[in-house]
Amino acid sequence: MAGVFSAPIGEAEQAARNEALTRENKLAASHKMLVRTRAKQVRDEPPPPDPQVAQDAIRDAETRSAWAAHHRAQAERHRQTLTDLIAHHEREARRLAGGGS
DSSP string, 17-82: HHHHHHHHHHHHHHHHHHHHHHHHHHHHSPPPPPHHHHHHHHHHHHHHHHHHHHHHHHHHHHHHHH
pLDDT digits (tens, 9 = 90+) for 11-32: 888 888 889 889 999 999 999 9
pLDDT digits (tens, 9 = 90+) for 36-73: 988 888 778 777 888 899 899 999 999 999 999 999 99
pTM reported for the whole predicted model: 0.43
Q: ∠99-100-101 over CA atoms, to 5°?
A: 135
Q: Domain spans of the chain?
A: 10-47, 51-101
